[in-house]
């Protein structure tokens, strides 16, 4: 296999629009890298540049430290699997698998649309090469479980069988790099899952270097050693699936990665806020910094809200413990819908702090507590630490929706008032203007 590197690669069209902008990637030998992003983000164009089907406007592509920008696709020792399979409809499965090898080994030439492979005087060499090709084809067919299909034509195959033939055509070449351009997008959900397992098994057996393009973040999370998230022709973040899921670089990555988008709630950060930037990051004029609170659906839980005739003491209060692991963010919400998935239920809630009596009460009590704390600041040596660990609540503002994953047998009624509770160490903080993750900025 091989190492692959892209160095400041850009692709600009004559109109001036960028399909790919300053993309740099280092892909290690035997690594499975996934390029993921929405349609039109430039991921397929990046793959075509690696393959040599498109030429970059600037930058370079290297395979094993050798620049291949001027090499045609056939000389780059790569194999590509396309979304539409690209099988020859008039050829059998066997001929589809062997065709490229015969051209590669035998120096076949095109003449008036007919293919002449080998010259008659080279019959001994012909026999050896045909034997070698036959061995490689049947070995790949056995590995993919399509040995019984070798005599069939593509129109006699199912979608999954056609996909296996396309994979086999790439495998028989024994390339340095495999390129996959959304190969599973035409398959149904069950077959996609089966083929994902098949591709991961092949990656282990072949010890291959693979670049895989998809718009499906589930494919990216389950298959890739590393993932590169693209948007508008640029790579926003590269990392392992765990890194992208738990420490997204910005709000786009946070909401794109994960079967349920990250919940985001606007918040303004006073000095007592749970997130405290380094001292040199504090605004000198004490202006408040606009933030977004983020948390995953499975990191929150729902609690029955107190009835309206309860006392204020029964309402959720911000914790002020010094141990961050014991702190909670709590805010009221109203159940909007229940999506039952069998093993779990996705509860969508409306967080309307503009009409929240509970929140207003909590906010007043929190402010009173802080005034008392500030008054005793000069005599209490622990005050500074208490302020730095106080949990802030979402500011009163526009209504927003959040999603919470609960157990499959939970029964939250539509319109029911609840309390959403999130552990402090599960919260993420994003700058509202830039969208960047503040914990990553200051780590």
| Digit-coded pLDDT (tens) for 320-330 | 444 444 577 88
Task: Please name the residue that has the structure tokens 């296999």.
Answer: 1
Instruction: Decide which of 3 and 123 is more confident.
Output: 3
> What pLDDT does 294 receive?
92
Mean pLDDT value across residues 279-307? 72
Contacts of 183 (CB under 8 A, 6+ apart): 81, 82, 83, 163, 166, 167, 195
- At 146, the pLDDT band (50, 70, 90 cuts) reads very high
The CA distance from 88 to 359, in Å, is: 65
> What pLDDT does 106 receive?
60
> What pLDDT does 288 receive?
59
As given in the structure block, the two tokens for residue 262 are 């990250």
- At 29, the pLDDT band (50, 70, 90 cuts) reads very high
- At 284, the pLDDT band (50, 70, 90 cuts) reads very low
Query: Any idea what the Cα angle at residue 179 is, between residues 177 and 184, rounded to 5°?
Result: 145
> What pLDDT does 326 receive?
56
User: β-pairing, 78-81 with 177-181?
Assistant: parallel
As given in the structure block, the two tokens for residue 81 are 């699997």
Q: Give yes or no for residue 410 having a pLDDT over 60.
A: yes
Predicted confidence (pLDDT) per residue in 58-98, tens digit = 999 999 999 999 999 989 999 999 888 889 999 999 999 99
Helix axes 93-106, 123-144, angle to 10 degrees: 140
Q: 327 burial class (0-12, 13-18, 19+ CB within 10 angstroms)?
A: buried
- Mark 19-40 as b/e (b = at least 16 C-beta within 10 Å): bbbebebebeebbbbbbbbeee
> What pLDDT does 154 receive?
94
> What pLDDT does 443 receive?
53
Task: Please name the residue that has the structure tokens 């509202």.
Answer: 432
> What pLDDT does 127 receive?
76
Q: Which DSSP state fits 412?
A: P
Find out whether 217 and 38 touch, Cβ atoms under 8 Å.
Answer: no
How far is it between the farthest Cα atoms of the chain? 102
> What pLDDT does 103 receive?
79
Q: Give yes or no for residue 441 having a pLDDT over 80.
A: no
> What pLDDT does 306 receive?
72
Lowest mean pLDDT among 20-29, 148-157, 167-176, 382-391: 382-391
- At 1, the pLDDT band (50, 70, 90 cuts) reads low
> What pLDDT does 11 receive?
96
Q: What rounded mean pLDDT belongs to the chain?
A: 80
Residue 306: C-alpha distances to residues 313, 403, 414 (Å): 10, 21, 17
Q: What are phi and psi of 59, to 5 degrees?
A: 90, 180
Instruction: Decide which of 274 and 4 is more confident.
Output: 4
The answer to whether the Cα torsion of 427, 431, 436, 439 is positive or negative is: negative
> What pLDDT does 432 receive?
85
- At 194, the pLDDT band (50, 70, 90 cuts) reads confident
Which structural domains are found in the chain, ordered by start? 4-246 (3.40.50.300), 261-441 (no CATH)
Beta bridge partners of 58: 10
Nearest to 6 by CA among 49, 70, 57, 52: 49
| Residue percentage of the chain with pLDDT more than 90 | 53
The CA distance from 333 to 311, in Å, is: 19
> What pLDDT does 186 receive?
82
Mean pLDDT value across residues 223-246? 96
Mean pLDDT value across residues 201-214? 93
Q: Give yes or no for residue 115 having a pLDDT over 80.
A: no
Mean pLDDT value across residues 170-195? 89
> What pLDDT does 212 receive?
96
Mean pLDDT value across residues 12-16? 91
Q: Give yes or no for residue 355 having a pLDDT over 90.
A: no
Instruction: Decide which of 277 and 426 is more confident.
Output: 426
> What pLDDT does 296 receive?
95
Listed in sequence order, the DSSP H helices in 107-158 are 123-144
């Amino acid at each position: 296999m091989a190492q692959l590197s892209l160095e400041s690669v850009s692709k600009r069209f004559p109109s001036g629009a960028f399909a790919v902008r300053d993309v740099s990637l280092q892909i290690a030998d035997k690594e499975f890298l996934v390029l993921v992003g929405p349609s039109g983000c430039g991921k397929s164009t990046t793959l075509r540049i690696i393959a040599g089907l498109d030429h970059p406007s600037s930058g370079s592509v290297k395979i094993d430290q050798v620049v291949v920008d001027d090499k045609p696709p056939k000389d780059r020792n790569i194999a590509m699997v396309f979304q539409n399979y690209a099988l020859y409809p008039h050829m059998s499965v066997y001929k589809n698998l062997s065709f490229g090898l015969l051209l590669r080994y035998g120096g076949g030439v095109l003449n008036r649309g007919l293919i002449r492979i080998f010259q008659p005087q080279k019959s001994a060499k012909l026999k050896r090469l045909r034997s070698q090709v036959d061995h490689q084809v049947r070995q790949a067919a056995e590995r993919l479980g399509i040995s019984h299909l070798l005599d069939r034509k593509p129109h006699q195959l199912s979608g999954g069988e056609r996909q296996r033939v396309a994979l086999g055509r790439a495998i028989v070449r024994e390339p340095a790099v495999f390129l996959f351009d959304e190969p599973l997008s035409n398959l149904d959900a069950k077959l996609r899952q089966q083929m994902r397992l098949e591709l991961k098994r092949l990656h282990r057996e072949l010890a291959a270097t693979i670049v895989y393009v998809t718009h499906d973040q589930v494919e990216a999370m389950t298959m890739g050693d590393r993932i590169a998230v693209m948007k508008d022709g640029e790579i926003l973040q590269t990392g392992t699936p765990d890194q992208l899921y738990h420490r997204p670089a910005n709000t786009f990555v946070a909401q794109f990665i994960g079967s349920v988008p990250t919940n985001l709630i606007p918040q303004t950060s006073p000095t007592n806020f749970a997130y405290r930037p380094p001292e040199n990051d504090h605004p000198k004029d004490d202006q408040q910094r606009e933030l977004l609170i983020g948390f995953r659906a499975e990191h929150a839980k729902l609690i029955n809200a107190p009835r309206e005739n309860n006392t204020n003491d029964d309402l959720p209060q911000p914790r002020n413990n010094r141990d961050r692991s014991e702190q909670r963010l709590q805010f009221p919400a109203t159940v909007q819908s229940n999506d039952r998935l069998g093993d779990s239920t996705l509860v969508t809630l409306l967080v309307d702090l503009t009409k929240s009596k509970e929140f207003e009460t909590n906010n007043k009590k929190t402010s009173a507590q802080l005034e008392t704390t500030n008054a005793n600041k000069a005599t209490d040596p622990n005050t500074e630490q208490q302020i730095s660990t106080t949990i802030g609540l979402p500011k009163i503002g526009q209504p927003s929706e959040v999603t919470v994953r609960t157990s499959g047998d939970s029964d939250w009624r539509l319109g029911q008032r609840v309390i959403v509770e999130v552990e402090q160490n599960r919260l993420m903080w994003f700058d509202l203007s830039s969208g960047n993750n503040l914990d990553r900025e200051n780590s």
